[in-house]
């Protein structure tokens, strides 16, 4: 086979952008690209390895022999090695063999910009391109309106490998998911799907959060174009796609980004800032221009090449604080003497600015568990610029409250009402994610107290309260039918449970809650605005009941929500209401079709009896462990 032919995709402008950390389409330049030079077909390779003495492309085309196809280093001190190899075709397996100037070290690395990788445990990169013809024009043309912050966000979180199995053990492919998952999510009425990381990762128990192939959908479930088919299928059903994205850390696997060219190229060289003690992983060097360009290019890659509608950014808290999970003496303060990682904050701001400027109708969502202020405030107001933030405090408080025996709940109503003291300080999404159903925490169903009937009634109440609380919401797969066991990434969800009335009842309740959420503007138009919420009663300890109003732009859309957190029915419960018009039932978690008792009134006409500060009131029949919604 011919040797390396000098060739470049880079202009001087590209190099200046790259060095300045401002090149955000690096995937068009670095990596492997099928091309033609002087009428000869082959592949152009380019890799960033500034500490290298030499870089060879090794692969099945040259029997993995170093020195056979050495790339040429650029003369501009960019640290980029490049060249064209004739005859290298699509599907060719390859790596980079790097001889470092640092202590004569040799490394053998997968391509950081590879579009496709061998299926683990194999670790080579593959030369790849696809010609998927997108059919989601309708979605993309209207996405800005459908995906805005004043629109419904009911997110179904999915781990691709364990949503459903065939033959008892084999995961579904992207193409099978494009039919079965898309059909199911449409039937259930969720507005979005959020995929746990799809980028290539070597270790199954990491669930995808330890990434080695940032630009490649995992080959476990098919080819890159097959994953595009899955996104396309969801879009054609009007369902948005959010990807988990992990710019916080990466594994030390020999073929990955760590110690890439014999130096700390991608990771911070100071272990106090470059090593994560919890996850035994490496932390990106956010102060290095080329690393910032790599990460922002990656965020843009998925939005651009895969039509993704949002990125949920993992472990943001670990990025923001220098002392995250570290003891005294294990971290060094910043220039101002405090614990904030100024470089990571700067990176997140720039990333958000760039993706929002580049794509209409997308959202970024921060998984951030601390009281850091301004996560969802615009960058020009000093914020980090995210669209939404997971409301971890609400999740912890709510599950803590619901696990209590109802006889003790009256003393803890403030645990439920407390979230409204800060609910509008950020644009919050309410998450019951995969993290809440693993490591001995039990499933959501089995965190509910009481006998079987009460467990399921509590779960329906929990979901009804979630859907009517201000903010978007997210539910991990299996929760929608009351999965009994904890999530196990190696096994399918327990779909057989849906043949039983209690479980199918939960499923029907979620369908109706999604329908209610999407068809009642009071639940989404002002979900991040304090004008969209008003308490009626937040401290009825005697009955353990809370009640509130959700408001949209039109007062005619207002909804009244009442939650009874005990198994005791409350007959003739008086509630003050703001209007004299008849109240009509919109949702009752105790409906018989959900395996409830069917208690509750369909309509109510207010009387002129003052109550709760209003001039009129109604007498309600509150179902046990139930939530009712009236319009």
- Which residues are known catalytic residues? 314, 367
DSSP bridge partners of 59: 94
Integer CA distances (angstroms), 459 to 28, 55, 445, 471, 627, in order:
48, 58, 6, 19, 11
Residue with tokens 């008003």, as numbered in its chain? 534
Integer CA distances (angstroms), 68 to 56, 140, 301, in order:
7, 46, 32
Question: Are 326 and 112 contacting, i.e. CB atoms less than 8 angstroms apart?
Answer: no
Strands 626-630 and 583-588: antiparallel
- The CA-to-CA distance between both ends of the chain, in Å, stands at 74
Q: How many CA atoms lie within 13 A of 215 on its CB side?
A: 29
**Between helices 137-146 and 224-236, what is the axis angle to 10°?**
60
User: In residues, how long is the chain?
Assistant: 631
Q: Peptide bond before 121: cis, by omega within 30 degrees of 0?
A: yes
DSSP string, 246-279: --S-B---TTSSTTTTSS-SSB-SSHHHHEETTT
| Distance from C-alpha of 112 to C-alpha of 29, rounded to nearest angstrom | 12
Integer CA distances (angstroms), 394 to 389, 406, 471, in order:
12, 19, 11
Label residues 436-472 b or e (16+ Cβ within 10 Å = b).
bbbeeebbbbbbbbeeeebbbbbbbbbbbbbbbbbbb
Question: Are 62 and 70 contacting, i.e. CB atoms less than 8 angstroms apart?
Answer: no
* Tokens encoding 354: 């760039």
| Distance from C-alpha of 394 to C-alpha of 423, rounded to nearest angstrom | 9
């Amino acid at each position: 086979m011919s040797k390396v032919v000098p060739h470049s995709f880079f202009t001087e402008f590209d190099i200046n952008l790259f060095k300045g950390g401002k090149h955000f389409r690096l995937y068009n330049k670095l990596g492997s690209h099928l091309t033609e030079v002087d009428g000869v077909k082959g592949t152009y390779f380019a890799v960033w390895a500034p500490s290298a003495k030499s870089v060879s492309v090794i692969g099945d085309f040259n029997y993995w022999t170093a020195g056979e196809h050495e790339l040429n280093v650029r003369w501009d001190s960019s640290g980029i090695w490049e060249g064209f190899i004739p005859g290298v075709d699509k599907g060719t397996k390859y790596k980079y063999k790097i001889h470092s100037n640092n202590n004569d070290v040799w490394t053998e690395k997968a391509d950081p910009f590879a579009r496709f990788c061998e299926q683990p445990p194999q670790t080579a990169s593959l030369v790849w391109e696809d010609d998927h013809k997108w059919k989601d024009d309708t979605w993309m043309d209207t996405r800005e309106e459908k995906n805005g912050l004043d629109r419904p966000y009911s997110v179904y979180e999915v781990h691709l490998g364990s949503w459903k199995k065939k033959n008892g053990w084999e995961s579904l492919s992207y193409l099978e998911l494009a039919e079965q998952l898309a059909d199911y999510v449409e039937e259930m009425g969720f507005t979005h799907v959020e995929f746990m990381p799809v980028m290539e990762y070597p270790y199954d128990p990491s669930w995808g959060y330890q990434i080695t192939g940032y630009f490649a959908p995992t080959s476990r479930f098919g080819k890159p174009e097959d994953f595009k088919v899955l996104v396309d299928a969801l879009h054609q059903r009007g369902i948005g796609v959010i990807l988990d994205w992990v710019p916080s850390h990466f594994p030390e696997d020999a073929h990955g980004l760590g110690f890439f060219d014999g130096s700390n190229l991608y990771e911070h060289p100071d272990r106090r800032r470059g090593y994560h003690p919890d996850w035994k992983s490496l932390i990106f060097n956010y102060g290095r221009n080329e690393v910032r360009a790599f990460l922002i290019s990656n965020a843009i890659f998925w939005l651009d090449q895969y039509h993704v509608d949002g990125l949920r950014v993992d472990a943001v808290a670990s990025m923001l604080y220098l002392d995250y999970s570290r003891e005294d003496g294990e971290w060094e303060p910043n220039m101002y003497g405090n614990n904030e990682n100024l470089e990571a904050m700067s990176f997140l701001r720039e990333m958000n600015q760039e993706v929002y400027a580049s794509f209409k109708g997308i959202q970024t969502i921060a998984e951030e568990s601390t009281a850091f202020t301004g996560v969802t405030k615009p960058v020009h107001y000093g914020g980090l610029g995210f669209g939404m933030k997971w409301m971890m405090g609400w999740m912890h408080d709510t599950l803590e409250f619901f696990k209590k025996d109802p006889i003790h709940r009256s003393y803890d109503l403030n645990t439920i009402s407390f979230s409204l003291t800060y609910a509008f300080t950020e644009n919050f999404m309410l998450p019951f994610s995969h993290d809440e159903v693993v490591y001995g925490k039990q499933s959501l169903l089995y965190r509910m107290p009481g006998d079987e009937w009460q467990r399921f009634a509590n779960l329906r109440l929990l979901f009804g309260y979630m859907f009517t609380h201000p903010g978007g919401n997210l539910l991990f797969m299996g929760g929608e039918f009351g999965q009994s066991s904890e999530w196990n990434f190696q096994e399918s969800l327990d779909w057989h449970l849906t043949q039983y009335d209690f479980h199918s009842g939960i499923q029907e309740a979620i369908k109706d809650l999604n329908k209610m959420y999407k068809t009642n503007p009071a639940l989404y138009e002002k979900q991040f605005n304090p004008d969209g919420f008003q308490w009626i009663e937040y401290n009825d300890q005697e009955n353990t009941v809370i009640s509130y109003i959700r408001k949209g732009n039109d007062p005619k859309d207002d909804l009244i929500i009442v939650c009874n957190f005990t198994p005791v029915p409350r007959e003739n419960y008086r509630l003050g209401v703001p209007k004299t018009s008849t109240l009509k039932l919109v949702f009752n978690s105790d409906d018989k079709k959900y395996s409830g008792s069917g208690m509750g009134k369909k309509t109510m006409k207010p009387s002129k009896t003052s109550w709760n500060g209003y001039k009129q009131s109604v007498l309600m029949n509150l179902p046990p462990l139930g939530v009712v919604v009236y319009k």
